[in-house]
Amino acid sequence: MQMLLDDRYRIIQTLGSGGFGETFLAEDTQMPSGRRCVIKKLKPIINNPQVYQLIQERFQREAAILEDLGGNSHQIPRLYAYFQLNGQFYLVQEWIEGDTLTAKLRQSGLFSDTVVREILVNLLPVLEYVHSKRIVHRDIKPDNIILRQRDRKPVLIDFGAVREAMATVVNSQGNLTSSIVIGTPGYMPSEQAAGRPVYSSDLYSLGLTAIYLLTGKQPQELETDSRSGEIVWRSFGLNVSPTLAGVIDRAIAYHPRDRFSSAKEMLSALHSNFAIPSTIHVTQPPIVTAPSATPQNMISFTPATPIHQGNGQRGILLASLIAGGLIGASIIIGLALNKQPQQVAQPITESNPQTTTLPDSQDEAQPVKSQLPKTSEPSTNNDETEENARLIKSQISRTSEPLINNDKTQENEQPIKSQLPRPVYSQPILTQTPTSETSFSTPTQIDKPSPKQAVQNYFVTINQGQYPTSWKQLSPSYQSDKAIHPDGYLSYIDWWGGKVQNVDIEQLSLVEETTNTATVNSQLKYLLKSGKEVPESVRFSLIWDAESNNWLISGAK
């Protein structure tokens, strides 16, 4: 006879397994009906024996929250029990019979405007309730909404906080930290990726969920308007009413202040003839699409690979040197200078048919841009390669400065190797978020983040392929520096989207910090799409932006 888990639950089947454990469908042998339940087994990350006790406490606290939520909303699974066994943590939850929105779309195709509206109308009160408890779900996506069979109501599963509790670790300074940011790349807005979710972060995720239902497109498959940075999706959605489209657009606004302030407000907008904000680009066709090869239930850090389409736009970009400043240039320059000259030429001369069509007439106007056709076209002879190297070197005085080896900064150095994601992951993002005594699922207080955290978050965003978000982490003057970004955002994504697969931060150290400025040294490792790995030291200048309550990168050398 099959063994019973905790002498009670007979496992029927495995429903899924993720970075933190497994989920099972089980039968409760101690209930007369033998009712079915879902058991979530969670395995903590433990890097210190004392942490176990803390994880235990946090598990209990989060389980209590789940009990409360499930007990008061019919659209959140009830918590039947929780227990610990052999160092692992278990939640026993109500089994919701039905299909996730992802499964439903696969079975039946795209959802109509009416059905999506109905789902939103039924979910928003649930979110309003969750938020009234000072909790942000943080992982709203089609996989985490089940359309219940019996009443067709959407049910919200998989609250992130328990998983986060499992990731409590002690960092090198002995402080408690969570080693993950909860959320799914693409569905998660930038402030959440930075470890500071707000209530409207859930509305953002819900908006992208609605887009998926209407278009079948995962966020990674959608492009952003190269000028406004807005997500371009409307052309994929057939027969979507202006009201619904307008509501979605506002929900997915980049900045929380441009979104609905609450689920309730979003709900009333759905009921009214919500005006389409004038800033939203409704007619512009996507200039870029990025097919996603990533399974939908997998967290992937593969940046979206833009495929530029010849649609009359200058969709094809040239600036292979430019990047969140001079970072990219500095890699190449560094290599051209003294490291591996033969490798220098390759990344910048390799054939990339997507980056060849900027009209020549533009080349003369901007000195940096004038170099770019050479750097982004296939090299046909050695002379041309040499010419590239010469041109790159000519930039060095402007872009490359030796890193100051300041011993005084040593004490600030905290290796954070391997805390940044690899290109493809099935686990949540690794980052450091200070632990607080308040529940992990409550929105973070707006504390001043550290400059190092800002740099780290910048690369997390880049590794997720969220280039509009990372672009906005640059200071306006840096963005508009023509020597670095001759074509503005277009130049930027040409480098990050076109050439770079992933960036690992191997070391960050704070050189100096004043109220409004900071300098951070970094040791980075770039994995280029060509397959090359390129180490590089970069010194970041940052300025404090009180409006966004964040550090912005204002320079990179």
Ligand X SMILES: Nc1ncnc2c1ncn2[C@@H]1O[C@H](COP(=O)(O)OP(=O)(O)OP(=O)(O)O)[C@@H](O)[C@H]1O
Q: Which residues pair with 181 in a beta bridge?
A: 429
- Is the Cβ of residue 23 or residue 463 nearer to ligand X in the bound state? 23
| 9, 20, 254, 551: which one binds ligand X (CB under 6 A) | 20
Q: How many residues bind ligand X (CB under 6 A)?
A: 20
Rounded to whole angstroms, the Cα distance separating 547 from 545 reads 5
Contact predicate 516/546, CB 8 Å: no
Question: How many Cα atoms occupy the beta-carbon half-sphere of 368 within 13 Å?
Answer: 21
Long-range contacts of 517-522 (CB under 8 A, 24+ apart): 517/541, 517/542, 517/543, 517/544, 518/451, 518/542, 518/543, 518/544, 518/551, 519/451, 520/451, 520/452, 520/455, 521/403, 521/409, 522/455
Nearer to ligand X, 95 or 212 (CB): 95
Least Å distance, CB 100 to ligand X, is 5
Q: Are 30 and 12 in contact (CB under 8 A)?
A: no
The distance of closest approach from Cβ of residue 23 to ligand X in the complex, given in angstroms and rounded to an integer, is: 4
- Within positions 286 to 345, which residues make up the interface with ligand X, using CB under 6 A? 297
Min dist. Cβ of residue 398 to ligand X (A)? 46
9 is an interface residue for ligand X by CB under 6 A: no
Taking the least distance from each CB to ligand X, the nearer of 100 and 466 is 100
Q: Which is nearer to ligand X, 55 or 331 (CB)?
A: 55
At residue 80, what are phi and psi to the nearest 5 degrees? -85, -40
Task: Rule CB under 6 A: say whether 45 interacts with ligand X.
Answer: no
Task: Please give the backbone phi and psi of residue 477, each rounded to the nearest 5 degrees, phi first.
Answer: -70, -30
Of residues 28, 68, 99, 139, which has the active-site annotation? 139
19 binds ligand X per the rule CB under 6 A: yes
**Nearest approach, Cβ of residue 26 and ligand X (Å):** 11
Angle at 15 between CA 13 and CA 20, to 5 degrees: 120
Q: What is the residue-wise DSSP string for 470-523?
A: HHTTB-HHHHT-TTT-TTTHHHHHHHHHHTEEEEEEEEEEEEEE-SSEEEEEEE
**476 lines the binding site for ligand X (CB under 6 A):** no
- Work out how close the CB of 66 gets to ligand X at its nearest, in angstroms, rounded to a whole number: 11
Q: Which is nearer to ligand X, 297 or 507 (CB)?
A: 297
> Do 88 and 39 contact (CB within 8 A), yes or no?
no
Residue closest to ligand X (Cβ): 18
Stretch near ligand X under the rule CB under 6 A, chosen from 19-27, 126-134, 455-463, 520-528: 19-27
Instruction: List 300's β-bridge partners, or say none.
Output: 424
Indicate if 139 belongs to the active site: yes
* Single residue of 4, 12, 15, 424 touching ligand X by CB under 6 A: 15
Any idea what the Cα angle at residue 186 is, between residues 138 and 443, rounded to 5°? 25
Least distance in angstroms from the C-beta of 424 to ligand X = 15
Binding mask 73-112 for ligand X (x = CB under 6 A): ----x---------------xxxx---x------------
Q: Is 18 in the site for ligand X (CB under 6 A)?
A: yes
Residue 41: how many CB atoms within 10 A of its CB?
A: 17
Q: Is 183 in the site for ligand X (CB under 6 A)?
A: no
Residue type, 313: Q
Q: Give the pair of three-digit tokens for residue 186.
A: 């693409």
Position among 26, 38, 518, 538 found at the interface with ligand X (CB under 6 A): 38
Output 231 or 299, the one with its CB closest to ligand X: 299
For the chain, how far is it from start to end, CA to CA, in angstroms?
A: 66
**d(Cα 224, Cα 211) in Å, to the nearest integer?**
14
Is 417 part of any known ligand binding site?
no
Q: What does the per-residue mask of binding to ligand X show for 129-168, with x meaning CB under 6 A?
A: -----------------x----------xx----x-----
Query: Does residue 40 touch ligand X according to CB under 6 A?
Result: yes
For residue 362, state whether it binds ligand X (rule: CB under 6 A): no
Alpha-carbon distance of 175 to 450, in angstroms, equals: 15
Minimum CB separation of residue 244 from ligand X in Å reads 25
Give yes or no for residue 17 binding ligand X (CB under 6 A): yes
Cβ closest to ligand X, residue 20 vs residue 478: 20
Whether the CB-CB separation of 148 and 100 falls below 8 Å is answered with no
User: How many helices and strands, by DSSP H and E, does the chain display?
Assistant: 17, 20
Q: Which residues are identified as catalytic?
A: 139
Binding site for ligand X (CB under 6 A): 15-20, 23, 38, 40, 77, 93-96, 100, 146, 157-158, 163, 297
**Binding-site residues from annotation:** 41
**Binding-site residues from annotation for ATP:** 41
